[in-house]
Amino acid sequence: MPKVRKVHRKKTFKVNINRKKLRNKLRKLPAITCPQVKEAWEKTRSTKSNLTQMGLAYDANASIKIPSTKSEMLKKAKLLASGALVTASVGPKKKKRVAKKNSVALALEADANAPRERMFRLPSGQVQFLTSMMDKYGEDYQSMARDKKNYYQLTWKQLRAKINTFKGIPEQYAEYLVNKGEIVLDDDTQSFKDTKRKLKI
C-alpha cells in the first residue's frame, strides 16, 4: 500500500503585513506592570530565562506538577504487586537552577505580605437605609425586619450582619456618628470632609 503524501501548506507572501514592524514588535519588551520585574528584566534574554533567573515560574503547571489519577493508581498497583512498602525511583536527578536574581522573588513576596489599606465601602443607598433603621430602632433587629421600608425582606440576622459591616468601615461609621452628634470635632467651623482630608481617612 502506498504511503500518504504530506500536504504542505503553500507559502504565500502577504502584502498587507509590514515584516519590519512585525519583527520589531516581537523583539520589543513586553508590557510589564510590576516594577520589581521590570527593573531586573534583561532585553537580550527570553521571557523564560528572565523569569527563571528571578526565581519565578514561567509555567505554573510545569513547576508544580499535579499527578494524574491514572498515574497514582498505577503506582499503587505496582506497590501491591511487588509487595514492597516503599519503592524509591532510581534515576538521574535533575539539577535545580539556582536563581541569580533571587531578590526579585523576595521583594514580590514582601510586597504581597505587606498590609493594605481597606478600600471596601458600602453604597450610599445602603448606608442611608441602615442609618435610618439604626436611628429608628437602635439595636432591635427584629423590629427592623418587620419595618415597611425593608423592601428586600431581609431577615433580622441579615440586617445585623449588614449593620456590623457598616460599623466595621471607620470612614462611613465615623461620618454617621459625627452627623448624629455622638462625636464632636475639635474645630466646629470645619466640616467632616475637611477633617477627613487632614487625617487622611
pTM: 0.47
Find out whether 201 and 192 touch, Cβ atoms under 8 Å.
Answer: no
- Each residue's pLDDT tens digit in the chain (201 positions)? 566 677 777 778 888 999 899 888 877 777 888 899 989 988 888 888 889 899 898 898 888 888 889 989 999 999 999 876 554 454 556 666 666 788 888 999 999 999 988 788 999 999 999 999 999 999 999 999 999 999 999 999 999 999 999 999 988 999 999 888 887 776 665 666 666 655 555
Find out whether 105 and 54 touch, Cβ atoms under 8 Å.
Answer: yes
Q: What is the pLDDT of residue 102?
A: 84
**Domain ranges across the chain:** 124-199
CA 200 to chain CA centroid, nearest Å: 26
Three cell numbers written together for 60: 505554573
CA 76 to chain CA centroid, nearest Å: 37
